[in-house]
Every structure is written in C-alpha cells, then in structure tokens.
Amino acid sequence: MVSLQQLEDFFNAWADMMWSTPLVSLLVGGGVFFMFYSRFQPYRYFGHGIDLLRGKFSDPNDPGHIPHSQALATALSGTIGLGNIAGVAIAISIGGPGAVFWMWVTAIVGVATKFYTASLAVMYRGKDAEGTLHGGPMYVITQGMGQRWYPLAALFAAACLIGALPLFQANQFIQLLRDVVAIPAGWATSEQHFTFDLIASSMVATLVAMVVAGRIQSIGRLTVRLVPTMVIMYLVMTVTVLYTYASEIPAMLWLIVTDAFTGEAAAGGSIGTVILIGVRRGAFSNEAGIGTESLAHGAAKTGQPIREGVVAMIGPVIDTLVVCTCTALIILLTGVWQTDAGLEGVTMTARAIEQVFPNTGIYLLLIMVGMLSFSTMVTMWFYGVKCMGFLFGVERQYYYSPIYLGLLVVGAVVSLDIVNGLILASYATMAIPTMISALYLAPRVNKAATAYFTALKNQ
C-alpha cells in the first residue's frame, strides 16, 4: 500500500525533475528568442491592446464565442489566483527575495511568449464533431503542424487534465477559511478540522457547478466582473502597506535585485535555487509558455489572430509585474518571511497583511482569496473539459465535471506538498508541447504580424 508520504515524495521528485535547467532554458530562452525574433514589435502595441479590450475594433459577426475583454479576463482568472498570493509566499520562503526578480524576468519575456501562443490559438482553431470552434495548443499542433504531431497534442491535453484540477486552489482557500472561521470558533481538533474542510469544500463545489453549467459564456461574464475588482482591491491593500513602510522600500527593492544574483537568502544559499524557484513560480503564475491560457484566448470573438496576441500580452504585466509584486512587497516589507519562516503559502501572506490591518486584514484577504480561487476554479474547469473533449470526443467531455468537482473536495483535505508537486509537474509537462509548437510556427506569426501592423499604421 502506497503511503501519503511516498506519494508526496514521488510528486515532488517528479516536479523537481521536470522543472530542471532544460525546461527553464526552454521557457526563458524561448521567450528571449521570441523577443528578438519579433524585433520587439509587439511591445510597442500595448496601447492597441487597450483599444481592443474597449471593443474599438470588435465585430459581432467575427468567429468565436466571447469578446476580447472576456477572453483576457478568463485567462487572467486562471492565472491571477492563489499562485499570486500563496505561490509568491512559497517562492520567497524557499528561494528568498531574489526569487521575485526572476519572476519579473519570466513575466517580461512572457509578454512575447503570450503574443505568439495566443496568436496561434486563434490562427489554428479546430472544430469538434458538433462544429464548434475551439482553440488551444492541441489544435495549434494538429492544425498548424499536422496530424503526425498528434502525440505531442495528446501529451498537452493529458497533462492539462491533471494540471487544471482545482487541488491547489481548494487546498489554500479552505486552509485560510479554516484559520479565519473554524479555529476562532473552537474547532481545534484534527477531526473537527477535517469535518469543517469537507463541509466548506462541498459548498464551494456546489457554487462552481452552478457557474460552469453555463459554460464559457457564463464564465466570461463572471470573470470580466471579478478580475478588475480583485486587482483594484489588492492594489489598495498594497498601497496602504507601501505607505506604512515607505522608508524601507528602496532597501527592499535593492535586496530583491542583489539576492537574485547571490542566493544568500535561499534554502542552502544556492543561486541555482533562486533562479529555478523564481522561474517556476513565475511560469506557474502567468502561465506564459504553459499553454492553458491559449484555451481561453482561442475562444475570442475575432477573425484577426494578431489582435488576440496583442490582448494576451497584457496578461503577464497584470498578473506578475503588478499582482505578484504586490504580494512580494507585502511579505518582504512586513518581515514575516524572516519572523514567520515556518508558515506555508497563504498563511504567510495572511500573517503579513495582519501586520498592517490587524483587525480587518484577515477578512479582506479571505474575500480576495475567495474571489481568486473561485474564478480560477471555474476557468480551470473549462480548460479541463476542452482537453477531455479533444482526447475522448465532444460527447464525452462533460464526464470531466464530476471528477473535477469531486477532486475539488478532495484537494481541500490533502497535504499541500502533495498538491504542489503534482500540479507543478503537470504544468511543466504542458510547457513542452506548447513551446515546441510556438517555436515551430513562429515564422507564420511573424508574417501575419507584419501584415497586420502595417495595415494598422495605414488606417
């Protein structure tokens, strides 16, 4: 009989093996390649991306399912999640402040990666047996590279079935809910904690089921409201922290930069640990090169693939350069990364916020985490269903739903280390076919981009 400890060791070893130097080189090196191969052209069109989000170039007769704004909001709801709150805390606790710098690097090169992968997601959309358009790396591979590459597409879809599971989100949200509600109410024993977790996660699963019943359209309508609210709320909290610790900000920013190249604060004092943890968490946060966000962008209502690529570029900026930096500064400026180093994930972030908001902070964070995790859960369901349909046929894709909802409950009561290792390993696996296909098809994106941007200038 395999023990939980053996499972934890296996999944963590798998994650460490997958997130080694070759994959880091593929993600960061691939992003750097895209930056120079595009001659930095997409970086000059962030303003155009804002216009697209405002609906300036939208045509209701374009193919697809949801507007640009809802496609980006759906993609962001999958990326702006607990990885931005719990994941940053994990990165700092293992890799030290320097890991934040490498998360920034991943985001900057991720802008170029997102441009290519999202453009391809629209350029090579496929139809299922019911004639419905779908986008994503598996269709990019089969439609753009040919059917002989089907095993690579199947690898992505199979890994996404696991990576999209709501284990991490459920685990961290229920952990915080237990800290805020159950423990103060006197639920102190492990048996009582288990009962509370089971009840709370079952209620969350019911709410998720109610939203996903409306499929991508209802998910888009939900996320386009939730995501801006979450970001603004978190920015307000962060500004308050920055004001409180204003005098310490320059020294802390300098520490992030210097520790990125010394690794003194990392576990074991290794610069390699700092880089690997920073890139791993950066990729997990903004998903540039992972491919999941392409499933959302592939549903955009547009006939111009480059438009969705420009919209997608905004994702890593909001997700990592803004939201993850907010979390990092909250944790570092309050000093909990040193005084409470034994805390895990979201609990460390909660302790940091309590330093500045002693009476209301934990409740503000609970609301934030609730919205973040819920929006991520409904978006990840969409990703998993699309991959299920690709592998087993559209008529069987919704078999994924009861499995997904059941594991949402299970994820709340299992070890964070088991969940963390399994999901990270799956994300690493997804990155391989996504980056291979994007690199292979990059010349076609460049050709389409040159034509599109030239026409835009001549308007």
- How far is 376 from 77, CA to CA, in rounded Å? 5
Give the CA count within 13 Å in the CB-facing half-sphere of 222.
24
CA distances to 162, 163, 165, 426, 429 from 6, rounded to whole Å, are 19, 20, 21, 18, 21
Residue 53 confidence (pLDDT): 76
Residue 341 confidence (pLDDT): 59
Q: What is the pLDDT along the chain (459 residues), one digit of tens a residue?
A: 566 677 777 877 887 788 777 887 888 889 899 999 988 888 888 888 788 777 776 666 666 666 766 777 666 666 666 667 777 887 887 778 888 888 888 888 889 998 999 899 888 887 766 667 778 899 999 989 988 999 999 999 999 988 888 777 777 777 777 877 777 766 667 777 777 878 887 888 888 887 766 555 556 566 666 667 777 777 788 888 888 888 888 888 888 888 888 766 555 556 677 777 787 777 767 777 888 888 877 777 777 888 888 888 888 888 888 888 888 888 888 887 777 656 666 677 778 888 888 877 778 777 877 777 777 887 788 888 888 888 888 778 778 888 888 877 877 666 666 667 778 788 889 999 999 999 999 999 999 999 888 888 777
- How far is 325 from 84, CA to CA, in rounded Å? 9
- Dihedral sign (CA 166, 230, 180, 212): negative
Residue 215 confidence (pLDDT): 56
Give the CA count within 13 Å in the CB-facing half-sphere of 356.
25
Residue 78 confidence (pLDDT): 61
- How far is 294 from 317, CA to CA, in rounded Å? 17
Residue 174 confidence (pLDDT): 79
Residue 434 confidence (pLDDT): 93
**Closest CA relative to residue 281, chosen from 83, 80, 429, 82:** 83
Global confidence as pTM:
0.84
Residue 343 confidence (pLDDT): 64
End-to-end Cα, the chain, rounded Å: 68
| Counts for the chain of helices (H) and strands (E), in that order | 22, 2
Residue 271 confidence (pLDDT): 66
Domain boundaries, the chain: 4-449
CATH topology of domain 4-449: Amino acid/polyamine transporter I (1.20.1740)
Supply 97's token pair. 């402040």
Residue 217 confidence (pLDDT): 55
